[in-house]
Amino acid sequence: MAKRMLRAGVGGDVAQSPAVPRRPNRRQPELRFDPMPDRVEPCLALLASKPPAGAEWALEVKWDGYRLAVHIERGKVRILTRGGHDWTSRFPTIAHDALELGLDSAILDGEAVVLDERGASNFGALQQALGGRGGKKFAAGAILYAFDLLYLDGRDLRGLTLDKRRSMLTDAIKPHGSIRMSEELDAEGAEFLKLACSMGLEGIIAKRRDAPYRSGRGGDWLKIKCVQSETFLILGYEPSAVALGGIGRLLLAARKHSGLVYVGSVGTGFTVKTATELRKQLAALKIDKPAISIKGRGMAWVTPALPAEIAFRGWTNDANLRHASYKGLREDADMAEVFKLDEG
């Protein structure tokens, strides 16, 4: 099974109005024509503590990258982020290969990743390829792992079951360049999670086979993680003359009630490049006092505007992160949610 996983790659805002139909479905003229949506809010996975059991759940690798929707229509491609921003120019290889699929019209749902030397997806490597948060580079080496098909040749597929959509997706993409199928793994959930964790992956995704495609976080899709990874806001940093990029550690905040609360710090996971670039961005956000009530001598305080993706092993008794490691900054276009603590 590990070998199968490795082969699989274990490794401008958009208007909301629908497009006006211009022609019928040429491949299936007997079917009614569904207008192609200009944008679809993605179906999101709900965090679960353990994998569900039963044959009604399909299991996949949890990819660590950027969620994308690839729209193909009449010889043109648009690649939209989770937040609806057009990033077609930033993923030129995926855009090129999408046209090579030869589809009249389609919407692919998937995750763009950059693979490391082990063949595992690496969020930090993808961020560097794009030039960091706010960067203008393009990730020509990125791969799209497609896991759903929302529209095909004049037909809206969102009302079909996952199994039917995935079958049509498999026929549509074939093995093709930078666009690959996110394979379903034939295993029990607990066994699959154990294997994924032993291989250093982020976790797994479980999806109800009989569910239609529903936007939002409704529970049809679940995510089970090996190492927790969430988005926190940076409150400030500890300047250092010896640490990489001059950052000794970052101070982090989560959401609670209608405000922010301190959840600890992170001092590992940086490279010279990522830390140096991060310190430049933080310098532009400096403020005289911390944004929330927090003590700390010798700290540089910043406006809490930069969302950082942080991996960690759990929580201390006083609600601070344990064994935290910096992964990179999230883009506004990605619409990552800042982690919210329980309201207790």
**Residues with catalytic function:** 62
CB-based contact 201:129 (threshold 8 Å)? no
Q: How far is CA 293 from CA 2, 44, 301, 340, in A?
A: 48, 33, 12, 18
Q: Which two tokens stand for residue 5?
A: 């996983």
Q: Which residues contact 118 (CB under 8 A, 6 or more apart)?
A: 10, 11, 199, 200
CA-atom Rg of the chain in angstroms: 21
- Residue 146 phi/psi, 5-degree rounding, is -80, 135
The single-letter DSSP state of residue 333 is G
Distance CA 56, CA 68 (A): 26
Question: Alpha-carbon distance 311 to 252, whole Å?
Answer: 12
- Between the two ends of the chain, the Cα-to-Cα distance in Å is 42
DSSP three-state, residue 134:
coil
Q: What angle do CA 319, 322, 324 make, to 5 degrees?
A: 120
**Residue 172 CB neighbours (<10 A):** 20
Work out whether the CA dihedral 168, 171, 175, 178 comes out positive or negative: negative
Q: How far apart are CA 102 and CA 108, in angstroms?
A: 13
Structure tokens at 307: 């969302």
* Number of Cβ within a 10 Å radius of residue 77: 18
